[in-house]
Amino acid sequence: MIVTGFALYPRNAYAEAPDDQPVSRDAQSMRLPESNIAAKSRKPIYDDIDALPPPSSTLLPPVLQPTPSSPSLPDSTEPRARGPTPTDRLASQVRHARLFLYRRACAAEDGVNRTLDRVFALEQSFTSTVAGLAPPRESGERLMPGLIYVLVAAMAGSILTRRSNVVLRAAVPAALAAGAGAVVLPLTMRNVGDLAWRYEQRVPALAGAHLRTREALEKGWSFARTHTQVGKRVADEKVAAARESVEDWVRKGK
């Protein structure tokens, strides 16, 4: 009867219950899709682990499903933190060495440039100072014959005081040279005096002594000129009186 019933009313046999019939939760958890079964049975050995679909929790029975309270296992696919390799440490040391050498080379180059700048500034200052001592062209003053006269005057003072003490042997040639320079090279001597005064102003004590000495010399020169004029006037008066006396005596004698 059963065989006759299947022959007269054929139907498909399902391993699972139809969709219109309810299925228990345990049966759903134990049911595996055909695609997953085929994929697990035909898993290639060269497939990447990340390319495979993650396993569904519904495929596992309720006993094997992890509970929320159980700790999750660490994922072996996450990259582990690693320290610097010997190559990285060597590259870092080489970088520090190159930066150190670069800074030292820059410092040495800056030092050389500063030294050369000071040398060039000193040379320019010296040349400009020497050029400023020369008289202008329109003045008609010539350095070559004037310097020869100054040198001859200094040598004459040295010869005159060769048997004197050290003070006279040093002061007389300098005084004669300065006097000759003031006569034959007035503009040059004025420029030299201005330059010496600028250097003396850097030392206040020396500048004060120079001013006091100059004032004393000016006062002495003024005093000498005044006395010279007074003496000349007295001498003229004496000569005039003597001439008048002689003239009176001659007039009376006749």
* pLDDT, tens only, 148-172: 999 999 999 999 888 888 888 889 9
* pLDDT, tens only, 181-192: 888 888 888 888
17/246: higher pLDDT: 246
Q: Is the pTM higher than 0.85?
A: no
pLDDT of residue 93: 93
* pLDDT, tens only, 19-34: 554 544 444 444 444 4
**Which among 189, 101, 94, 178 is positioned nearest to 141, based on CA atoms?**
189
Give whole-number Cα distances, 118 to 30, 110, 126, in Å: 95, 12, 12
Residue with tokens 């391993």: 15
Instruction: Give the separation between CA 198 and CA 44, rounded to whole angstroms.
Output: 100
Which residues fall within 8 angstroms of residue 145, CB to CB, at 6 or more apart? 184
Would you place residue 11 in the very low, low, confident or very high pLDDT band (cuts 50, 70, 90)?
low
Burial pattern 103-120, b for ≥16 Cβ within 10 A else e, equals eeeeeeeeeeeeeeeeee
User: Within 10 A of 180 (CB to CB), how many other CB atoms are there?
Assistant: 22
Instruction: Give the separation between CA 105 and CA 117, rounded to whole angstroms.
Output: 18
Orientation angle between helical segments 186-200 and 86-133, nearest 10 degrees: 140
Residue 171 near residue 164, CB atoms below 8 Å: no
* pLDDT, tens only, 72-130: 544 555 556 677 888 999 999 999 999 999 999 999 999 999 999 999 999 999 998 88
Which residues fall within 8 angstroms of residue 60, CB to CB, at 6 or more apart? 29
Would you place residue 42 in the very low, low, confident or very high pLDDT band (cuts 50, 70, 90)?
low
